Structure 1
Amino acid sequence: MNATLTYTMLAKDFSKSLARTASDPIVKRETAYFEKTIGSIRSVDDFMKNQRVYAYALKAFGLSDMAYARGMIRKVLEQGASDPASLANTLNDQRYKALAKAFDFAGAGAAATGSPDLVATTKADYLLQSLETQVGKENAGAQMALYFRRVAPTVTSAYGLLGDKTLLSVTQTAFGLSPSTSQQTIDRQAKTINSLLKISDLQDPAKLEKLIERFTARYDMKNPGGAATAPVSAMQVTQPEISQNLLMSLANLKLGGV
């Protein structure tokens, strides 16, 4: 199926789409394990040592592609998100900040994982990520549409769209902008987006859906027959393009430049 049909079928009754994903044996098994085990995770060391909890949490926060960078993830959690100079706040990537805020070992210590809200939010985000991953195996455009549906409402400026590979790609496709526009200065790109889209419309469900419909229609024109699919790992790298070497270098630095 093409992106339009795939996305429309999923969005028509999104709760049923999520329920089907929740019934997947792997999703059920890993969620049950997370619920049973998270209460015993009392420190960053516990979190890092339990591979299944670690993988579950990182997937929930869209960080599966960074699971190998264990040293960096440890520093993100150890330093937390309250200090503006912490690693989570200097990476220019909201995924790390969200992870550090949710698993607040730096601020709450052993009580960090005792919040029912943490469990509920992580489970919900894991389910959404799992649905998007499954859809991506069938059609990359539909996966991009679902991602845009989930993340775009959190964007507060054109720079938020520009700083996310998938959000930017959806926006460029929807408005017929060439990917080569990314070679322009960031301010010029932001000006172009603001001339085409009112950012506040992303918080309006009806207007958001219209934009997604526009994207899927144009995506299908460029990829007739729904032939364009992408490996899940490629679709997971959706945030600002920070090179892996730079990320690892930052992880190895001590705050204060020492």
Structure 2
Amino acid sequence: MLNSTLYYTMLTRDFSKSLATAASDTVAKRETAYYEANIGKVKSVDDLMKNQRLYAYVLKAYGLSDMAYAKGLIRKVLTSDVTDGASLANTLSGGRYKALAAAYNFSAKGAVGTISAEAQKTTKDNYVEQTLEANVGKQNDGAKMALYFKRIAPTVKSAYGILADKTLLGVVQTAFGLSASMSQQNIDVQAKTINALFKIGDLQNPAKLQKLIQRFTANYDAQHPMGVSMTPSSALEVSTPDISQSLLMSLANLKLGGS
């Protein structure tokens, strides 16, 4: 059994190699190749939205796969002025929409927006991280939540950013033993509760961020003691390459509470 603490540690011990493994995933590799070959042909919002494969790739990269059906909303986001604090991309919660609009800023960049090397690299990097998290989630939801928190939490500017994101909030609630029923409270009361537990600025400190994640995974494992059942071969597939095979085989057969 691998619990979320051990699984997360294995994945982040050499995170670049974990990402490389995710990038070599058959589907990820194929879709990224298609994106690279075709994104430069996109000259407008309509071009992007008519190409279902590109549209799906871009939305997944920015964590918006669940909103693929809402094409009217996505169109408005992609034509938003990201410099205007009152624009749709800036007012929607979670930061995902703003990131999408900033990368593919048709409002400001027009037809040349999609050929930006920076936008393409960011999109591909994001897609690989989303792929890694999705694959990890098939084995252990706690480890997936921890990876998501590691990626997104440093971008949060206030307690309201935590409250606006279901996964971020779930990590914080689990880490500090908060009841899910707190969501029924006044939003300002919820924000005050979070601010009393830790400083939002600490999320941008790697050491403090890591401690919070460790606190989360420990509590998550206490609440979900079954962990992840893995064969030695599946452990090898999801782990970082620098851990020896003999150790992985031992970890894959490890029982919680003892060897």
TM-score by length of 2: 0.84
Give the Cα–Cα distance (whole angstroms) in 1 for the partners of residues 81 and 29 of structure 2: 30
Unpaired segments ≥5 residues, structure 1:
229-258
For residues 170-200 of structure 1, the C-alpha deviation after alignment (integer angstroms, 9 at most, x for no partner) is 0011011111122221222122211211211
Q: Using the alignment, how far apart are the partners of 2:88 and 2:154 within structure 1?
A: 25
Deviation at 1:131, TM superposition (A): 0.5
Post-superposition offset of 1:113: 0.9
Q: Structure 1, residues 146-186: CA drift from partner, whole Å, max 9, x if none? A: 00000111112211111111111100110111111222212
Give the Cα–Cα distance (whole angstroms) in 1 for the partners of residues 188 and 138 of structure 2. 35
The letter for the 2-side match of 1:130 is T
CA contact (8 A) 2:89 2:97 kept: yes
Match of 1:172 in 2: 173
- Which residue is 1:72 aligned to? 73
Task: Give 1:78 deviation, angstroms.
Answer: 2.8
Range that drifts further, 143-152 or 90-99: 90-99
Greater RCO, 1 or 2 (C-alpha within 8 Å, sep 6+): 2
Specify the code of the residue in structure 1 equivalent to 2:180: P
Residues 48 and 166 of structure 1, relative CA distance in 2, 3 Å threshold: same
**CA radius of gyration, larger in:** 2
* Deviation larger for 70-79 or 143-152: 70-79
Once the two structures are TM-superposed, the CA of residue 9 in structure 1 deviates from its matched residue by: 0.6
The answer to whether structure 1 residue 34 and structure 2 residue 72 are counterparts is no
* Correspondence for 1:127: 128
Size of the alignment, in residue pairs? 228
Distance 2:151 2:209 in 1: 10
Alpha carbons 2:159, 2:195 under 8 Å: kept: yes
Equivalent residue number for residue 237 of structure 2: none
Rate the CA distance shift 1:86–1:192 in 2: closer, same or farther, 3 A: closer
SS in 1 for 2:79: helix
Q: What is aligned with 1:98?
A: 99
Partner residue, 1:15: 16
Question: Which amino acid letter does the alignment assign opposite residue 57 of structure 1?
Answer: V
Deviation per CA, 1:55-87, whole angstroms, max 9, x where unpaired? 110000000001111122122213343344433
Which secondary structure state, in structure 2, belongs to the residue aligned with residue 79 of structure 1?
A: coil
Aligned counterpart, 1:140 = 141
Match of 2:250 in 1: none
Distance 1:69 1:128, change over 3 A: same
Q: Residue 177 of structure 1 aligns to a residue in which SS?
A: coil
Q: Which residue in the other structure is 2:223 paired with? A: 222
Q: Is this contact kept in 1: 2:139–2:228, CA < 8 A?
A: no
* Contact 2:149 2:171 (8 Å CA) reproduced: yes
SS at match of 1:138: coil
Q: TM-score, normalised by structure 1?
A: 0.84
Which runs of at least 4 in structure 1 moved beyond 4 Å after TM superposition?
A: none
Corresponding position of 1:152: 153
Q: Which moved more, 1:75-84 or 1:61-70?
A: 75-84
Name the counterpart of 2:110.
109
Partner of 1:59: 60
Deviates more, 1:91-100 or 1:32-41: 91-100
* Mapped contact 2:45–2:106 kept (Cα < 8 A): yes
Q: Distance in 2 between matches of 1:67 and 1:148?
A: 23
